[in-house]
A and B are shown apart, each in its own frame.
Chain A
Amino acid sequence: MSDTTLPPDRRQAFSDRVRRAATNGRLTAGLILLPPALILFTLFVILPLGESGLYAFYDWNGYGAPQDFVGLRNFEQMFGHSVFSIAVWNTVKIILISLLIQMPLALLLALLIYRKTPTNAVFRLIFFVPYIMAEVAAGLIWSFVFDGNYGVTASIATTLGIERFFVLADRELAFYAVMVVIVWKYFGFHMMIYIAALQGVPDDQIEAAQIEGASRPQIVRHVQVPHIKPAIAVSAFFAIIGALQVFDVIIPLTNGGPSNQTHTIVTYLYEFGLTRLRIGYGSAVGVVLFIVAVLVAVFYQRIFMKKGTA
């Protein structure tokens, strides 16, 4: 909308704001600080996004300029591909496991160790170590744990005197193993969010509830959890967006196998788009993932993170 279409009072307010910004240095600060961020964001986010959206309509191997326009064929193939369905379902399962197991586990541990004591500080560090560990390293460690020949599961099988089992090679069990690793890897992050929030709950509210006869679970339910609802909303948001992006834990663990049973949307994109040099197809998967992530973000923010709740 051009300035001339504004009503006179709003036009005046706008010009006042500009004048204030010019005199108090905010305009200068904006002019100096904004361009670097804007240029980098445009170069590395906006342009690749736009290009990806363009390549999604081409059959292109990444060499030369894309010329073979195929319309919506990449999308048709993707939605008709059984492995893509598995990948989507696996991603949904990771979201569910994050919300229903990882977050409650993180909350439970946070409630146990949120108070500032030396012992709790040690436990906090121990629980947080998986999160700060590189995903690839975590994947490799767990691939050793699950190794049926030399790993921990092999030792367990030998101790129990049962037949050795290969969790990561089992079509039924492999994805459960992946989910165990994901819960282990990321619960510490959510736990830290809850700990920070729980430390912000005023002690006297908890003491008031104690005096009124509330039991520990009642205090958690009626006082602490309502207090940290905004933190839970943020944590769930990160859990969902993180689940949509799971990639580097799976590659060293299963590489999407056995029989493509442990792919997520991102590993599917990597496997069937990048490694097979089908950049156009991979772009189509990326576009779908991007749209889903944006929709989730927008709706989640509108529903659960309204002003006053987060």
Chain B
Amino acid sequence: MAEVRLENVTKSFGKLTVIPDISLTVPDKSFTVLVGPSGCGKSTLLRLIAGLERPTSGTIRIGGDDVTDDEPSKRGISMVFQSYALYPHMSVARNIDFGLRISNMPTEEREKRLAEAARILALEDYLDRKPSELSGGQRQRVAIGRSIVRNPKVFLFDEPLSNLDAALRTQMRVELAELHHSIDSTMIYVTHDQVEAMTLADQIVVMNKGRIEQIGSPMDLYDTPASVFVAGFIGSPKMNLLPGKALGRPDIATVGIRPEDLEVTENDGWDTKARVVETLGSDTIAYVRVEDVGEMTVRLPGHIRLKDGDRLKLRADPERQHHFDEDGRRIERTDV
């Protein structure tokens, strides 16, 4: 069992408090994604779990053991870095089995693990190459291979796909999902890309300013965002957040309407004018202005053809609206 538990963990760098107080449980064998904007403390949290930073206070447990003061190598974790952190002077094989070599693992076992990792990651033909002779995706696979051979209890990923181009990122995302299914370990993954979070995670932890905004499954977060921040962060294009007063609801501070929950109507609805239209093929995204309400984004089926300047009437399904109070917290619909 390799549940990861953080109990009242805080982290300060001098006078700057990056993580005020966090408690979090990452279930065994889950794929948990820490997501949030730059500087929200998600990478610091990952480094605390890895042991690369020591918490100012609080306890970190992995598999039930208190590892707060343990060295990184004693925690049963492995980590894949954003920059891959491959050793440029070593071959792919040496990069992958470096940790096994320095731990004096018997050659036979070492070679077995290396071969297995190379097979899983389709790196058999590249074992003698140097990292500089590999593509970005291959380098990323080597970095993952280095993690796999150690049979860790917990895999940590620090924005591992952010250096890849869009096509490769999609491919690697699929490979990571497959990897999680095949090795069935606990994985904690940091990203600022909500698409990665939505597609990979069993559990998403949304962070903002060192605090956890919401924890839940991807669809929980999408369907019932607990705050304006989560509502705006999860979903692409982002949710339209409009003042309640402008919509005739002075009792609600903010009304959230997802772009896909707006529909074009013939008669009733807001009279809008498309400022910019993006035709994506499968979808048509229109950025519109509604008089006395504000800017809105609309996601329409791809077959609806619009051009900049077109006028259209829009209506929002009242059942699909999200309501938030003055503090930005969700108002459950039964409370309204």
Whether A associates with B in a native complex is: yes
Cβ–Cβ contact B98 & A211, under 8 A: no
The answer to the question of A76 belonging to the interface, with a C-beta cut-off of 8 Å to chain B, is no
Cβ–Cβ contact B102 & A222, under 8 A: yes
Interface string of A200-222 (1 = CB under 8 A from B): 00101101111111110010001
**Which of B71, B78, B83, B85 is the most central at the interface, judged by chain A CB atoms within 10 Å of its CB?**
B85
Chain A: interface residue total (CB-CB under 8 A): 18
Q: Chain A residues near B73 (CB, 8 Å)?
A: 210-214
Contact of B87 among A205, A210, A215 (CB under 8 A): A205
Residues A212 and B87 in contact in the complex (CB < 8 Å), given A204-B81, A207-B52, A222-B98: no
A175-212 residues with Cβ-Cβ distance < 8 A to B are: 202, 204-205, 207-212
A88 to B87, CA, bound (A): 42
Supplied contacts A210-B71, A227-B88, 14 more A-B pairs, CB within 8 Å: A204-B81, A204-B85, A207-B81, A208-B79, A208-B85, A211-B51, A211-B73, A211-B77, A211-B79, A212-B78, A212-B99, A212-B146, A214-B98, A226-B89
Interface string of B84-97 (1 = CB under 8 A from A): 01111100000000
26 CB-based A-B contacts, threshold 8 Å: A204-B83, A204-B85, A205-B85, A205-B86, A207-B50, A207-B52, A207-B79, A208-B79, A209-B98, A210-B72, A210-B73, A211-B51, A211-B52, A211-B72, A212-B99, A212-B102, A212-B146, A213-B99, A213-B103, A214-B73, A214-B98, A214-B102, A222-B98, A226-B87, A226-B89, A229-B89
A210 to B99, CA, bound (A): 9
Q: Chain A residues near B86 (CB, 8 Å)?
A: 205
The answer to the question of A223 belonging to the interface, with a C-beta cut-off of 8 Å to chain B, is yes
Q: Chain A residues near B78 (CB, 8 Å)?
A: 211-212
A204-261 residues with Cβ-Cβ distance < 8 A to B are: 204-205, 207-215, 218, 222-223, 226-227, 229
* Closest Cβ–Cβ distance, residue A109 to chain B (whole Å): 24
**Which of B52, B82, B103 is the most central at the interface, judged by chain A CB atoms within 10 Å of its CB?**
B52
A213 to B85, CA, bound (A): 15
Cβ–Cβ contact B81 & A213, under 8 A: no
A220 to B81, CA, bound (A): 20
Contact of A202 among B51, B85, B150 (CB under 8 A): B85
Cβ–Cβ contact B89 & A210, under 8 A: no
**Which of A204, A212, A214 is the most central at the interface, judged by chain B CB atoms within 10 Å of its CB?**
A212
* Closest Cβ–Cβ distance, residue A201 to chain B (whole Å): 10
A36 to B89, CA, bound (A): 43
Chain A residues in the interface with B (C-beta under 8 A): 202, 204-205, 207-215, 218, 222-223, 226-227, 229
* Closest Cβ–Cβ distance, residue B154 to chain A (whole Å): 11
Q: Chain B residues near A213 (CB, 8 Å)?
A: 73, 99, 102-103
Cβ–Cβ contact A208 & B102, under 8 A: no
Cβ–Cβ contact B52 & A212, under 8 A: no
Chain B residues in the interface with A (C-beta under 8 A): 50-52, 71-73, 77-79, 81-83, 85-89, 98-99, 102-103, 146, 150
Q: Chain A residues near B87 (CB, 8 Å)?
A: 205, 222-223, 226
Q: Chain A residues near B51 (CB, 8 Å)?
A: 211
Cβ–Cβ contact B102 & A210, under 8 A: no
A219 to B206, CA, bound (A): 35
A39 to B259, CA, bound (A): 73
Q: Chain A residues near B85 (CB, 8 Å)?
A: 202, 204-205, 207-208
Shortest beta-carbon contacts, A-B, top 10 = A212-B99, A213-B73, A208-B85, A204-B85, A226-B89, A204-B81, A211-B72, A205-B85, A210-B72, A207-B52
A213 to B101, CA, bound (A): 10
Contact of B150 among A204, A210, A212 (CB under 8 A): A212
A211 to B154, CA, bound (A): 12
* Closest Cβ–Cβ distance, residue B227 to chain A (whole Å): 33
Q: Chain A residues near B79 (CB, 8 Å)?
A: 207-208, 211
Closest residue of chain A to B97, judged by CB? Answer: A212
Closest residue of chain A to B98, judged by CB? Answer: A212
* Closest Cβ–Cβ distance, residue A227 to chain B (whole Å): 7
A213 to B97, CA, bound (A): 12
Closest residue of chain A to B156, judged by CB? Answer: A211
Closest residue of chain B to A223, judged by CB? Answer: B87
A218 to B77, CA, bound (A): 20
Q: Chain A residues near B99 (CB, 8 Å)?
A: 211-214
* Closest Cβ–Cβ distance, residue A12 to chain B (whole Å): 34
Q: Chain B residues near A204 (CB, 8 Å)?
A: 81-83, 85
A204 to B89, CA, bound (A): 15
Closest residue of chain B to A212, judged by CB? Answer: B99
Q: Chain A residues near B102 (CB, 8 Å)?
A: 212-215, 218, 222
Contact of A208 among B71, B89, B103, B146 (CB under 8 A): B146
A218 to B79, CA, bound (A): 19
* Closest Cβ–Cβ distance, residue B334 to chain A (whole Å): 48
A209 to B150, CA, bound (A): 13
Residues A210 and B52 in contact in the complex (CB < 8 Å), given A223-B87, A226-B87, A226-B89: yes
A1 to B88, CA, bound (A): 42
A86 to B144, CA, bound (A): 59
Closest residue of chain B to A221, judged by CB? Answer: B102
Closest residue of chain B to A308, judged by CB? Answer: B132
Closest residue of chain A to B143, judged by CB? Answer: A208
* Closest Cβ–Cβ distance, residue B122 to chain A (whole Å): 22
Q: Chain B residues near A212 (CB, 8 Å)?
A: 73, 78, 98-99, 102, 146, 150
A197 to B182, CA, bound (A): 41
Closest residue of chain A to B52, judged by CB? Answer: A207
* Closest Cβ–Cβ distance, residue B70 to chain A (whole Å): 12
Closest residue of chain A to B80, judged by CB? Answer: A208
A211 to B88, CA, bound (A): 18
A212 to B86, CA, bound (A): 12
Closest residue of chain A to B47, judged by CB? Answer: A207
* Closest Cβ–Cβ distance, residue A221 to chain B (whole Å): 10
Q: Chain A residues near B103 (CB, 8 Å)?
A: 213
* Closest Cβ–Cβ distance, residue A301 to chain B (whole Å): 21
